[in-house]
Amino acid sequence: MPVFVPFERKSHLYGANRRLLISENTIQQILSRIDIVDIVGDFVKLKKRGANYLGLCPFHNEKTPSFTVSPSKEIYKCFGCGRSGNAIGFIMEHEKYSYVEAIRWLAQKYNIEVEETELSPEIVAQRQLAESLHIVNEFAQEYFSHTLFETEEGQAVGLSYFQERGFSEDIIRKFQLGYNPDKRDAFARAALKKGYSIEYLQKTGLVVTRNGEPADNYRGRVIFPVHNQTGKVIGFGARILKSNDRAPKYINTPENQLYVKSKLLYGTYFARQAISQADECLLVEGYTDVISLHQAGIENVVASGGTSLTPDQLRLIKKYTGNLTILYDGDAAGVKAALRGLDLALEEGLNVQLALIPDKEDPDSYVRRIGAGAFRDFIRTHKKDFIFFKLEVSLEEAGNDPKRKSELVNQLAETISRINKTEHFTLQQDYIRQCSEILKIDEQGLVSLVNKHLRERLQKQERTRNPAAAAVLPEAAPATEMPGEAEDGAELLLQDDKQERGLVRVLLEHGHRAWDEHSTVAQHIFEAPLEYDLIDNAVVRRILESYKALVEAGQQPETRFFIYHADPEISSLAVAVLHFPYEVSPNWKDMHEIEVTHRDSVYKQDVSSALNYLLLKKIKRLLNENQQDMEKAATPEEQMSCLQLHRHLKEMEYQITGRLGTVILK
């Protein structure tokens, strides 16, 4: 029976509104074939170490291997950077795929046919169009590359241009650069001869019709293919080489089913892993900037094409890193270009910095002149925080004009108001404090102005969503109020989380084992005097409830059921809590005369310890709550009631600590 892949994990390959149905049979076939060592081994060189495999982490730069794969638990974990997950999660993280894209990748690897429910005629037509455009683009890329390397004109004109720019043959082939002959219809004739439809050739922008005849749109130009995140060519940029005042310097693919400029950044496919490893994305303007930096070994770089950044492009960057550094020309136009659209970057939660290239150069020429090492040093020492950079530039422009300074303050407040995520509250406060000092204005006044802009934006959004309710929209929380400050027991809740996760660990690792003659470990845990509604971690509760329901239905869930759970939060927590087994040398006992106890032989103590520590944490929380009630007690009767509860809780605490062998210090 077909099942819906959850919306959050489905592919966007065929449009934002597509709900892709993959059959349960397909998913189960894939899960049954998954070998995490085989899958990870496609990307990481692994060596067997005892029961596990070890290699260099693909997610951060390291020289000593700390990336461990457990075939028995079907999970990986890096003890250097902390990344962990299952086989599907590894493909999603490494290749930056959606869940459905990862499923399709695994299906192709294991030669499993993906079963889908019948699609509507409209979706079928869209899908066929997209596939047809991919095929045409692939042919075009191969044609342009062949022309560049294998024809006399291509070598004399196109290849010589790239070589003059300092591009090596390896980098030209890596980016699949090409050349279109300076003839009216050379490419069109080749494509039509191969049987490609004129309709699709026109949709890709490769061919136009003039006087009823097909003609090449990119003739006499060098070609820069544009790739999507999976490496497929979805469009082209074409640069003219002859001096022609009437023709534009660059022509780009017109928007179509595949090519949507606002959602693309040139070079993403080649940069995605380097961005993740460096935890920083360098953003430049043009194709050649990207290629030159890659050739210099600086690969965490993409290009915007010189336009203002869009929300979709910013979210694309955020898939790989939270740190964006923009490299632009240092002239006035470059400064203005650097500032466009960056308020949106703050709203997306990106940490934005800028480094302006000196001496009227661009990244392409500058890295070729000073070299990769000096270029990296320049970025590190010259990049400036976006807000302070904007403040510096605006102050210089305003001079001593009071009106312009007033406008500056208002613009700055509007920019700071974009930092509106709860987790960035402290950052927002730091900006307000430091900008107030630089501008020599009242800090509270800037706070009020920031809140005003935040309030106006919320009201505007509400009017768009619900015009009738806009009049009664509550005011936004002031920027001086700490989010979560009023939440009772926040510190205790954080302390409890570790114990709650520990209970999930012993349940997943030992739940199937026998507790006594009549029950399993899982049954024993669920019979324990523990109120699960007191568990604060919502994901822990969901795992316990799911596990308990299966046990009560007479089933014994396998650990992999939770590792590959459709709920990504459950899957992530299951992977995070599972232990990697420590390997003990077989010579340890003989060399050191120390008896080493295997964890499997002491699982009952492990289970009891997890239960008792969780109970102890809950009792401590109740003791604290009772102490607060005692301080508020208004009558002797209320005080006596609190004292009796205190004694009862302390007795329970002593009993549990006695079982644990714990000493109570307070």
CA 79 remoteness from chain centre? 20
- Residue whose C-alpha is closest to residue 578's, from 94, 93, 74, 55: 74
Q: Which superfamily is assigned to 2-109 in CATH?
A: Zinc finger, CHC2-typedomain (3.90.580.10)
- Contact yes or no for 438/396 (Cβ under 8 A): no
Confidence (pTM): 0.61
Q: Catalogue the E-assigned strands of 33-151.
A: 47-49, 52-55, 67-70, 75-78, 84-85
Within 10 angstroms of residue 219's Cβ, the number of other Cβ atoms is 17
Tokens of 520: 């399993």
What fold does the segment set 119-259 form as a domain? Answer: DNA primase DNAg catalytic core, N-terminal domain (3.90.980)
3-state secondary structure labels for all residues of 301-362? EEECCCCCCCHHHHHHHHCCCCEEEEEEECCHHHHHHHHCCHHHHHHCCCEEEEEEECCCCC
Tokens of 275: 């961005």
Give the CA distances from residue 330 to residues 327, 362, 628, in Å, rounded to whole numbers and listed in that order: 9, 8, 61
Q: What is the largest CA-CA distance in the chain?
A: 102
Cα Rg for the chain, rounded, in angstroms?
Answer: 31
Q: What is the pLDDT of residue 338?
A: 59
Q: What is the pLDDT of residue 482?
A: 35
- Contact yes or no for 3/22 (Cβ under 8 A): yes
Domain limits of the chain? 2-109, 119-259, 388-472, 490-660
Q: Could you tell me the mean pLDDT of each successive run of 10 residues in the chain, 666 residues long?
A: 32 38 80 86 87 87 87 86 88 84 87 74 78 93 96 95 95 97 94 93 92 92 92 94 81 91 92 88 93 96 84 86 85 61 81 87 92 93 88 83 86 85 77 89 87 80 53 42 33 52 83 81 77 74 85 80 83 78 52 50 73 76 81 76 82 73 45
Q: How far apart are CA 147 and CA 187, in angstroms?
A: 10
Q: Catalogue the E-assigned strands of 463-596.
A: none
